[in-house]
Amino acid sequence: MMQPFTVAIDGPAAAGKGTISKAVAAHFDLVHLDTGLLYRAVGARMLLGEDPITAAQSLVAGDLDNPDLRTAEVAQAASRVAVIPEVRAALLDFQRAFARRSGGAVLDGRDIGTVICPRAEAKLFVTASAEVRAQRRLAELTEGGFQTDFDTVLADVKARDDRDMNRADAPLRPAEDAVILDTSDLSIDAAIAAAIDAVAARRAG
């Protein structure tokens, strides 16, 4: 059995951590889990009237295939359910088991390096300015056919940051031993290369 090698990648919304995480996973031949999808799936079920704690406790893999999980409304719902301790507890074991599977894994989210996998072999904190992240998110939404504007998206980004950073349970913050990667002025290729270099250095060490 291969020794697990866990890569924890955290950061705020639209910093690029999802794209970077997938690329890192592909480069090192590791499986990838976007843990934010777990919270989005719970949020989506809450928007349909379900109790979020019940939704978290009964979540199945098929819930992650919902095409509506990428909408701005579901993103905001995910941020709201993520502050509920019982929701976080229900999803904790799933994430930890995934992280330590044979061969290892890449997990991205907001508390992977600090709470879910504090002993991860490699930790990155991917960030960017709120304005840059809002512009990226706007482009993503517009491409997906959603009608909105920069000021609305920026307000959403800042509101989500405030919730994520100031929640009582597992607030968004870099782990003490995480490599900080600011993508504000980086192309996606440069950001991916920097992330791969950081993880390779930890694997070699």
Q: Is 26 annotated as belonging to a binding site? A: no
Q: Is 54 annotated as belonging to a binding site? A: no
Q: Is 14 annotated as belonging to a binding site? A: yes
Which residue blocks in the chain are alpha helix, DSSP H? 17-28, 36-47, 52-57, 72-81, 85-99, 130-143, 150-166, 188-204
Cα separation, 168 vs 187, whole angstroms = 34
Q: Is 15 annotated as belonging to a binding site? A: yes
Q: Is 193 annotated as belonging to a binding site? A: no
Q: Is 13 annotated as belonging to a binding site? A: yes
Angle, vertex CA 112, rays to CA 195 and CA 98, nearest 5:
95
In single-letter form, the type of residue at position 178 comes to: A
Q: Is 103 annotated as belonging to a binding site? A: no
- CA distances in angstroms from 8 to 124, 137, 157, 200, listed in the order given: 6, 22, 22, 13
Please say whether the beta carbons of 46 and 55 come within 8 A: yes
Cα separation, 87 vs 110, whole angstroms = 14
DSSP state of 169: S
Q: Is 12 annotated as belonging to a binding site? A: yes
Q: Is 145 annotated as belonging to a binding site? A: no
Q: Show binding-site residues for ATP.
A: 11-19
Q: What are the binding residues?
A: 11-19
